[in-house]
Chains A and B, each alone.
Chain A
């Protein structure tokens, strides 16, 4: 190869270094470019031959006096290998870069007061830093934004990737991670956002499958093993739907409204009123709010009394404040099979107006707190307010939330798949069963593409005659990263086809769109390869 060729790309395999307890050299090689004028070599990108976890690669330091025609190698133009570690303890499709060191095995660190990731022993908390992804050519550097409190966030030499990675650290171990796409997310700057002790029931795994849903109290975060259906809190409190205030012994001090005492028992007897109560009993951990036919949920939270606007998908439903006329509320809970319970239960926490302990991911908003805008982890948005809102971003109270800018929940899934403009169906055909379950009727095992292999991990709910989409159609609150679903053979599939994130019910990767699209396509048939393979015919 000629010395004077500009930007000649040569791949030189990195010298292998013996494996350590922490990992091995990553598969791949470095690219080197020789300056046509000076003859000096410079190092380019690391080109991975595959992604890897728990491995390192060595970034070579080029000897500036080496001007040979051959690409530099260790000892001949390369003075030092700098070990850079790629790490992925959760194995979620992420390949994380931490930092570099020239000596010993690095460990994860934390973000300092300047928003700079500093290597070191992690502590309990949340670490957010830039630069994940497979180190390869052609991937744009991520865009970095401003951290919490206006502190500039500076990545430490990202090698590629598309965004930011948040890593939750518990007792010195990374227990969870999530990716916020291509936008910057806030950095907690030393705040211990993960204060709960996770349950460890998985043989030494760093994190229980419950993930954040198991923090603090494990199963009891959501469920109560005793007193199901009873409302006998020893320290009752009442929550004001309008003001967001909590009263220890019921409303007082001149506050008027209809409220329900904790003396009543029964499934929904206090909460299936003909009028909307202004005050509701608020769970304090001693009882639960669902009994009778919904006893199996042993729910340990008060159900929200809010009526939510939801995206209804109707062509004519463009209105202000969410553009929707569909709503969900607890008043819809009339039988134990009512699918909407699979959305309302989620809102016990994810609508912070009803939340007693806040989200681990982002701002905790408790009773009576006024917030601005939409924040991560909160599903319902600041909702309809009466009167005039002065300007965009004005502060409004939570409590009459809108879900209308989210994927539809409590939406009908057409059992016949719907009829598309081409005569086929938009969705896979299903059969709503009398026992509340919904069965996909697609039995063709000769499917191509990802979604066919994938099966239909999405879970639909039946009221006996109609199939419905709810929050838990896509999310399984019990499995944060290891999905489990009934595959086409009728058996549960656990983890075999990949991990997930965001509690999504099937394999899901924020880095591999073919995998993530496969989940969407497990319902959206008309966007799937199988649809094309079938020539648009219904299935």
Chain B
């Protein structure tokens, strides 16, 4: 907000008593927020997704979520070989409180993906996304299997040598190479923990609060980096796009030692 606008706003306040005697201006620039980007949906800011009161999800995993969550079964891509599909049923995710009507998540990891579907399943939300490609559910309304797998477990340390190792402790998942000592790009991906297991969800790769700028740890140091598509890590040049993927997929990186001990 600049000084001119501040003065105009002050004038607006004075004009309030006079009922519109005079034309004043407010700047309304949807999606102009530097961090929220298009998630500043209809200019609602934080309240586009979160509710300060009366949330739809209860409990500490409820994220003060202010939107309805679709309760249905999705077909999701199954990882590994031979691949194929599996299902993710959000209706089994939530238990409704008969009194408040709000839901308690049964799965602290899966709820992260379910929240995204509040909007990004447009068949459910009915909203028009600014980019049609962000409609991640197929036109049949249930298929997510043309996307990177979500709601899949990330193997814990020692069980899959092709992935950077992850340890789970105190409800948090941490990369063994957390400082980026080995992989200088760092490991900005966020794994979600449920029942002592680590899971990949939508939020593993995307931080809905950081549209084009984010902060990550690279080579042991926190640093602000440019990103795109709400990707959690640096994501601008072709090389960095690759680096984000290989920050999990160790075997695709030049730093992989083949031993699976990193």
Write the residues of chain A forming the contact surface with B, with a CB cutoff of 8 angstroms.
Answer: 21-24, 26-27, 50-55, 87-91, 93, 95, 134, 139-140, 143, 162, 173, 181-182, 202-206, 311-324, 373-374, 379, 381-385, 389-394, 396, 402, 404-407, 421-424, 449-450, 453, 474, 482, 495-499, 509-517, 520, 527-529, 531-537
Query: Which of B12, B21, B100, B224 sits near A533, CB closer than 8 Å?
Result: B224
List B1-57 residues whose CB lies under 8 Å from chain A: 1, 6, 9-10, 12-13, 15-17, 19-30, 32-36, 40-48, 52-55
**A-B contact count, CB below 8 Å?**
253
Judge whether B59 is part of the interface by a CB distance below 8 angstroms.
yes
Most A CB atoms within 10 A — which of B6, B100, B126? B100
A510 contacts across to B, CB distance below 8 A: 43-44, 47
Contact across chains for B15 and A91 when beta carbons are under 8 A apart: yes
Q: Which residues on the A side are within 8 Å of B36 (C-beta)?
A: 513, 517
* CB–CB B29/A407 < 8 A: no
For the A-B complex with A496-B6, A512-B45 known, give 4 more contacts whose Cβ atoms are closer than 8 Å. A311-B60, A323-B62, A402-B100, A513-B30
Nearest CB in chain A: distance from B204 CB, A? 14
Instruction: Determine if B222 and A322 form an interchain contact, defined as CB atoms under 8 angstroms apart.
Output: no
**Interface stretch among B75-83, B161-169, B212-220?**
B212-220
Among B10, B21, B60, B210: residue with most chain A CB under 10 A: B60
Which residues on B sit within 8 Å (CB–CB) of A55? 20, 23
* B23 x A527 contact (CB < 8 A): no
Report the Cα distance A87→B24, complex, angstroms.
11
- Looking across the interface, which residue of chain B has its beta carbon closest to that of A350? B53
Chain A residues, CB < 8 A from B105: 318
Q: Which residues of A contact B128 (CB under 8 A)?
A: 140
A-contact bits for B94-120, CB 8 A (1 contact / 0 none): 001111111011001000000000000
B228 proximal to A (CB < 8 A)? no
Cβ of B230 to closest chain A Cβ, rounded Å: 13
Chain B residues, Cβ within 8 Å of A182: 42
Interchain CA distance A50-B27 in the complex, whole Å: 6
Let me know if B59 and A536 touch, CB within 8 A. Answer: no
Q: Are B59 and A512 in contact (CB under 8 A)?
A: no
Question: B201 contacts which chain A residues (CB < 8 A)?
Answer: none
Closest chain B residue, CB of each to CB of A495:
B13
Known A51-B26, A510-B44, A516-B44; contact A319-B224, beta-carbon cutoff 8 A: no
CA distance A511 to B28 in the complex (A): 7
Tell me what chain B mostly uses at the interface: helix, strand, loop, or mixed.
loop
Contact assessment for A513 and B25 in the assembled complex, using a CB-CB cutoff below 8 Å: no
Q: Of residues B28, B46, B217, which shows the largest number of chain A Cβ atoms within 10 Å of its Cβ?
A: B28
Please tell me if the beta carbons of B97 and A27 are within 8 angstroms of each other in the complex. Answer: no
Q: Report B-chain residues with C-beta under 8 Å of the C-beta of A316.
A: 60, 171
Q: List residues of chain B with CB under 8 Å of any chain A CB.
A: 1, 6, 9-10, 12-13, 15-17, 19-30, 32-36, 40-48, 52-55, 58-62, 64, 96-102, 104-105, 108, 126-128, 171-172, 209-210, 213-217, 222-224
Closest to B19 in A: A89
Cβ of A54 to closest chain B Cβ, rounded Å: 2
Closest to B170 in A: A315
Q: Could you tell me the distance between the alpha carbons of A404 and B61 in the complex, rounded to whole angstroms?
A: 12
Closest CB in chain B relative to A517 CB, distance in Å: 4
Q: Which residues of A contact B26 (CB under 8 A)?
A: 50-51, 53, 93, 95, 509, 512
Q: Which residues of B contact A52 (CB under 8 A)?
A: 23-25
* Residues in A neighbouring B41, C-beta threshold 8 A: 513
Bound complex: CA A465 to CA B144 (Å): 50
- CB nearest to A448 among chain B residues: B34
Q: How far is the CA of A497 from the CA of B34 in the complex (A)?
A: 19
By beta carbon, the residue of chain B nearest A21 is B21
State whether A323 touches B222 (Cβ < 8 A). no
Q: Determine if A379 and B53 form an interchain contact, defined as CB atoms under 8 angstroms apart.
A: yes
| Cβ contact of B98, chosen from A319, A374, A392, A407, cutoff 8 A | A392
Partner of A22, one of B1, B20, B30, B96: B20
Write the nearest CB–CB distance from B216 to chain A, whole angstroms.
7
CB-nearest residue of chain A to B100: A381
Query: Across the interface, do B28 and A512 meet the contact criterion of CB distance under 8 Å?
Result: yes
A394-B98, A517-B40 are contacts. A323–B59 as well, Cβ < 8 Å? Answer: yes
Q: How far is the CA of A382 from the CA of B97 in the complex (A)?
A: 11
B215 is contacted by which of A381, A383, A532 (Cβ under 8 Å)?
Answer: A532
B21 engages A535 (CB within 8 Å): no
Query: Which among A22, A91, A203, A534 is the interface contact of B24 at CB below 8 angstroms?
Result: A91
Measured between alpha carbons, how far is A512 from B28 in the docked complex, in Å? 6
Bound form: Cα–Cα A22–B35 in Å = 39
Contacts of B42 in A (CB 8 A): 139, 162, 182, 513
Q: List 30 A-B contacts (CB under 8 A).
A: A22-B19, A23-B20, A23-B22, A24-B22, A26-B23, A27-B23, A52-B23, A54-B21, A90-B16, A181-B44, A206-B16, A315-B60, A318-B104, A323-B104, A324-B60, A379-B53, A390-B98, A394-B98, A405-B53, A422-B216, A422-B222, A453-B1, A495-B10, A510-B47, A512-B26, A513-B47, A516-B44, A516-B47, A529-B35, A529-B213
